[in-house]
Structure 1
Amino acid sequence: MFAHLDRQIRQYMLVTFNYWNFTLTDGALRMLVVLYFYDLGYSTLAIASLFLFYEFFGVVTNLVGGWLGARLGLNKTMNIGLMMQIVALLMLALPNSWLTIPWVMAAQALSGIAKDLNKMSAKSAIKTLVPNDQQGALYHWIAVLTGSKNALKGVGFFLGGLLLSVLGFQYSMLAMAAVLVLVLLGSLVWLESDMGKAKSKPKFSQMFSKSRSINILSAARMFLFGARDVWFVVALPIYLGSVFGWEHIWVGSFLALWVIAYGVVQGFAPRLTGKAKGKIPDGRAALIWASLLALITGLVAYGVQIQWQPQLVIVVGLLIFGAFFAINSSMHSYLIVSYAKGDGVSMDVGFYYMANAMGRLIGTVLSGWVFQMAGLAACLWVSFAFLVVTCVISIWLPKKGLITETSAVG
């Protein structure tokens, strides 16, 4: 049955399957590391440092990976990402005496490279499979890929908490590595070898985007994701466990629910932003949705600061934040692929996700430091400030007005 499907659909399904499986292990790994090392007595700043190389090498990987994808093909960068994640998981499966901070940081560095090679390859591949004159279809498939990925990352958070409780840290790493070995074998057999390869070999000096639109969107993306990770990566899971006294399984379950809901909303973002009426997002839409997200964040930060029903404010407020953040993220993901050049698309997408990784890096470091110095409310106020900067940058995004597209599908 699979063999009779259209070639483009088959390749889309393979790319998505690879991305889904990788994302499950990535989400589970993050939750396992945060909870396990907190149990070992690490401070929040020390835990944040474990992710420092993960995020830093994400910055480098997106920049260089886009160039590699254009030269070698997206199948190779995706498969290299799978291989590196397997090695990273096996590094963390060693006995506790080996799991020093430098060793874990090195494993996380490999995982960060792997994650961004995989994501850049998957997002870029969609551009090669959808015709340029079908922007509605492009928005739809980008939203589906991104939304399903984040929903599965949420499942990964739950899986991480569950695996830690049932199998323990080391056996969890081995189980996830075994699954990815099977995924890699399938990818090596069925993924096309020339996907995303540029017709002309791009030079290394061409890695940096020369597009004003992409540069502005990349800057907005950096502050958008910094605003999320400054409270989400380290501060929130530690706060839920240490202040509210939640068990590992409940911390993992809440963060899983948050990310799953976030992914579901991302998948529906085209409908929520008017695609059914022929509306395709532009800079004006990005500015409006970023402004709404900033307003919500400010209200949540104030509620936490005055300690008004803190569990209610954090649980409900951050779920609302997640829904609006999902729409912002999905819209940005569409805009970058839309702005990107068709030939060697991975270079523009890679540059953009370099900025995304830089935002995560800044947010991760601040998440541990600000929480340790001033608590969760301060993390949320930093998030609010980052979103205000996102809004200011978004003013300069291209505004095309209402775009009606008869070829929109999905």
Structure 2
Amino acid sequence: MGLLSVNSLSPQIKQYLMITGNYWAFTLTDGALRMLVVLYFHQLGYSPLKIAMLFLFYEIFGVITNLVGGWLGARFGLNKTMNIGLAMQIVALGMLTAPPEMLTVVYVMMAQALSGIAKDLNKMSAKSSIKLLVPENAENKLYQWIAILTGSKNTLKGVGFFLGGILLTLIGFNGAIIVMALLLIVVWIFSLLYLKEDLGKAKNKPKFTKIFSKSDAINRLSAARMFLFGARDVWFVVALPVYLAATFQWDHWWVSGFMASWVIGYGIVQSFAPYFTGKKQGKVPTGKSACLWAVMLSLLPIAIACSLYFDFYIQYSIIIGLLIFGIVFAINSSLHSYLIVSYANKDAVSLDVGFYYMANAMGRLMGTVLSGWMYQEQGLIACLVISTLFVSIAALISSKLPNKNEPTS
């Protein structure tokens, strides 16, 4: 019965499910790996700044990958970039199974560089593919499919955070890496066999110079995205997990559990973002929507910073404040993800999406470095103040976005 129901699905739905399943598996291991690295190296006595540096190449190569990956996807097909991403993640995990004495900062940074390339090839390929599977002028369906893909991905990333903490506790760093590599090998083989060829390949081979977007709307949205994700990662990547472990004396289970709960909730809200932004009235987000939601988001980190400064129920303020931040941030992120795919040119969509996620990776890079440095020098309050500043800049940039969603020419 299950097989018959799958066979009765349209080719577009089958490919959507294949891409989503591929993306899910990758995301699960990526989230687990991030939590493993943060907790394991904190346990070894690494400073917050050194832990941040472990992710430096991950983010730098993510920037480069998104910029070049969009061109590769348009030229050779999104199926190839997605499968290459999976293969590279398997190699990166394999590198981390080396003996503990080999896991120096430089060596781990190199493994993380491969992982960063892999992750952004996979994400760019998945997000770009959706534009090609949805009929023209079906904006509500496009928004819904993007919201489901993005939200489910982040929910699984949160599960990955929790999984990373559990695996580290139960079977150690090396055992956890081996389990994740084996899972991805199975997914990779399945993807090689069943993912449609030539998906996303442009009719006309784009020149390499086309990697930079010439659309004003996409440039503005990309800039807003950079500051939006910088605002999240400036406290989320290093500062928050280290703060929870050091200040509240939480063990691996508690830290990974809280981080996982945050990201799972964030992903669930993303999946339902269309209902928060007017789906029942037949509305889809515009530039004005992005600005208004960013303004609302900017009020939250400064409120949390004030509660810390005045020593006002610190533990409750952080937990409740960051959960509310997660809800509002999820809606911001989801409508951004819809807007880029909506604005993108259908032929060679991966070029526009790749450029946009390059800016996303730039924001994560900026946030990651600041998260370790500012937390080490000034503490969590400083990280939250910078978060407020970044969201405010994102809101200002978003105020100049167009209020009619049309693809770029």
TM-score, normalised relative to structure 2: 0.97
**In structure 2, what is the equivalent of residue 226 of structure 1?**
230
> What is the CA distance between 1:301 and its match in structure 2?
1.5
Aligned residue pairs: how many?
Answer: 402
Structure 1 segment 247-396 matched on structure 2, within 5 A: 247-396=251-400
Structure 1 segment 25-40 matched on structure 2, within 5 A: 25-40=29-44
> What is the CA distance between 1:395 and its match in structure 2?
1.2
Aligned partner of 1:44 among 36, 44, 48: 48
- What do residues 248-281 of structure 1 show as CA deviations (whole Å, max 9, x unaligned)? 0100000000000000000000011111111111
> 1:128 and 2:132 equivalent?
yes
Indicate the larger mover: 259-268 or 274-283. 274-283
- Structure 1 unmatched ranges of 5 or more: 404-410
- What do residues 57-105 of structure 1 show as CA deviations (whole Å, max 9, x unaligned)? 0000000000000001000000000000000001011110110111100
> 1:69 and 2:37 equivalent?
no
Amino acid at match of 2:330: A
**In structure 2, what is the equivalent of residue 406 of structure 1?**
none
- What do residues 281-307 of structure 1 show as CA deviations (whole Å, max 9, x unaligned)? 101111000000001222112112222
Looking at structure 1, the residues matched to 317 and 136 of structure 2 have their Cα atoms a distance apart, in angstroms, of 44
> What is the CA distance between 1:3 and its match in structure 2?
3.0
Aligned partner of 1:172 among 173, 176, 199: 176
**In structure 2, what is the equivalent of residue 407 of structure 1?**
none
Looking at structure 1, the residues matched to 302 and 404 of structure 2 have their Cα atoms a distance apart, in angstroms, of 30
Structure 1 runs of 4+ aligned residues shifted over 3 Å read none
Looking at structure 1, the residues matched to 287 and 90 of structure 2 have their Cα atoms a distance apart, in angstroms, of 39
**In structure 2, what is the equivalent of residue 408 of structure 1?**
none
Looking at structure 1, the residues matched to 301 and 339 of structure 2 have their Cα atoms a distance apart, in angstroms, of 24
CA RMSD of aligned residues (A): 1.0
**In structure 2, what is the equivalent of residue 91 of structure 1?**
95
TM-score, normalised relative to structure 1: 0.97
Looking at structure 2, the residues matched to 43 and 301 of structure 1 have their Cα atoms a distance apart, in angstroms, of 23
> What is the CA distance between 1:4 and its match in structure 2?
3.0
Aligned partner of 2:26 among 6, 16, 22: 22
- What do residues 139-162 of structure 1 show as CA deviations (whole Å, max 9, x unaligned)? 000000000000000000000000
Amino acid at match of 2:60: F
Percent identical among aligned pairs is 64
Looking at structure 1, the residues matched to 195 and 7 of structure 2 have their Cα atoms a distance apart, in angstroms, of 13
Amino acid at match of 2:325: F
> What is the CA distance between 1:131 and its match in structure 2?
1.2
Looking at structure 2, the residues matched to 227 and 305 of structure 1 have their Cα atoms a distance apart, in angstroms, of 19
Looking at structure 2, the residues matched to 201 and 194 of structure 1 have their Cα atoms a distance apart, in angstroms, of 13
- Structure 2 unmatched ranges of 5 or more: none
> 1:116 and 2:120 equivalent?
yes
- What do residues 313-350 of structure 1 show as CA deviations (whole Å, max 9, x unaligned)? 10000000000000000000000000000001000000
**In structure 1, what is the equivalent of residue 208 of structure 2?**
204
> 1:55 and 2:59 equivalent?
yes
**In structure 2, what is the equivalent of residue 160 of structure 1?**
164
